[in-house]
Amino acid sequence: MASGSRVTILPQSKEALLKSYNARLKEDVRSMLENFEETLKLARRDSHSQISRTTQSEQDALEMQIRASNMVRAGESLMKLVADLKQYLILNDFHSVNEAITNNSQLFRSTQIECDKKLMKLRDEMAMDLYDLEEEYYTSIFK
């Protein structure tokens, strides 16, 4: 199975949570759309009613304010949903977290091995230099 097309079976609680997120999304988008359509209808409407033109205008203005408030509420709800989804992903994406930990561990192990090799080489060079210095000291006529 390719890593890009992995199929995951979610526990019941996660599945229910994701379904509730989906329901919230659909409800908020539906609310925004309905309120926007109704606002447009109010803007286009000719007043052929029994009430006075001023009263109708005030009533339409109030309804437009209410519908605008409903659209703002739905937009804020959608932004909260996005924040909730981000938080859910961060807190529950164990696969990515484990992958990052594994990659870091491998990187640190390879760095450790490289440092160990360099230290061994340095130790060997220092041992040879020390041996040469001791040899020079003990065979010197100036001791």
H helices of 6-93, in order, are 12-44, 53-92
pLDDT category of residue 49 using cuts at 50, 70 and 90: low
C-alpha pair distances (Å), 131 with each of 22, 122, 127, 138: 75, 14, 6, 11
DSSP category for residue 142: T
Residues in CB range of 74: below 8 A, 6 or more apart:
28, 29, 31, 32, 35
pLDDT digits (tens, 9 = 90+) for 81-104: 999 988 888 887 778 778 888 999
